[in-house]
Amino acid sequence: MNGACPTCGAVYSVEPKDVGRQIRCKKCQTALKVDPTGLVIDDATAPEPAAERAGPRVPNLVARVGGLPTALFGFGVFLVIVFTAMPLIGVAGSDRAAALVERLEFEKEVKLKALVPKGKRESDLSDAEKAKFNDDKKKLEEDYDKRIEDAKNDARATKIGNRRDVWYERYGLMFGFVFVAFGCIAYLRGADALVLRIVAAVVLSVMMIVMFLTFGGCAVPKV
């Protein structure tokens, strides 16, 4: 019997007892079946003509991650996580910028105290020592005052930037929830496992409740 694939020539071991068996070529993925003469293309599972298979197809990558519902749900969750974390990161950035101002002010204070000779007070300094102390103090203050002013401006700019970023963060969350909602609806409309559809229904319901409480006028207004 001919055990060669008609498409790519890959050879398989087939015997008369295998007649009627259907296999798929490991090399070219052609659907084959065993007839009395050997391996032939399985017409029952042959690819559809181009005219019949025209239209959108789910990309292989989407199919590998679990289909379109999983892709939508996963991307939505990704957006929700990212845009929920961004305000926290922004607050941390503001705190870091403010801490830099405090650190520079602390360093300035420590270095000013270090200008006074050990064991003496500023009032005990001689005229020459006072002149040197005042000169060093002036240079130190000029250096640190400029650095502190720059740090304060940076902290203020960071704080303003965080307030402006809220607009983008809210939009990101909105799109994240939209993708999660479409993913849940796709699960509910599909033939997935019952547990998965129950989880999708619960997630969708919780999202609707949260959105209603947030934007439906149930929040207590600030006086």
Residue 159's pLDDT is 93
Q: What's the pLDDT at 8?
A: 79
Whole-number pLDDT of residue 11? 83
Whether residue 13 sits in one domain with residue 65: no
Q: Are residues 80 and 162 in the same domain?
A: yes
At 68 the pLDDT is 82
- Is there a single domain that holds both residue 40 and residue 120? no
Is 70 within the bounds of a domain? Answer: yes
Instruction: Please give the pLDDT value at position 41.
Output: 86
Do 40 and 74 belong to one domain? Answer: no
pLDDT of residue 125: 81
Residue 156 in any domain: the answer is: yes
Report the SS3 class of residue 39.
strand
pLDDT of residue 126: 83
Q: What is the pLDDT of residue 64?
A: 67
Alpha-carbon dihedral sign for residues 125, 131, 134, 135: negative
In a domain, 53, yes or no: no
User: Is 3 inside a domain boundary?
Assistant: yes
Q: What is the per-residue pLDDT for 2?
A: 76
**Do 67 and 154 sit in the same domain of this protein?**
yes
Do 87 and 184 lie in one domain? The reply is yes
Closest CA to 6 of 35, 36, 40: 40
Per-residue confidence (pLDDT) for residue 158, from 0 to 100:
94
Residue 218, domain member (yes or no): no
- Give me the pLDDT at residue 52, please: 42
132 and 206 in a single domain? The answer is yes
Q: Domain of residue 8: give its range.
A: 1-47
Count of domains for the chain: 2
Q: Which of 34, 82, 98, 59 is nearest to 179 (CA)?
A: 82
Q: Which of 151, 155, 141, 153 is nearest to 108 (CA)?
A: 141
Do 19 and 99 reside in the same domain of the chain?
no
Give the mean pLDDT per block of 10 residues along the chain (223 residues): 80 82 82 86 60 48 72 91 93 95 94 85 83 90 94 95 92 91 87 82 87 62 49
For residue 40, tell me if it sits in a domain. Answer: yes
Query: Does residue 101 sit in the same domain as residue 126?
Result: yes
Residue 215, in any domain of the structure: no
Environment class of 172 (CB within 10 Å of its CB; exposed 0-12, middle 13-18, buried 19+): middle
Indicate whether 71 and 154 sit together in one domain: yes
Alpha helices in 15-126 (DSSP H): 60-64, 68-115
Examine the domain organization and report whether 79 and 151 are in the same domain.
yes
According to the model, what pLDDT value does residue 12 have?
83
Locus of tokens 């303003």: 160
Q: Are 32 and 41 in contact (CB under 8 A)?
A: yes
The pTM assigned to this predicted structure is 0.57
pLDDT score recorded for residue 44 = 66
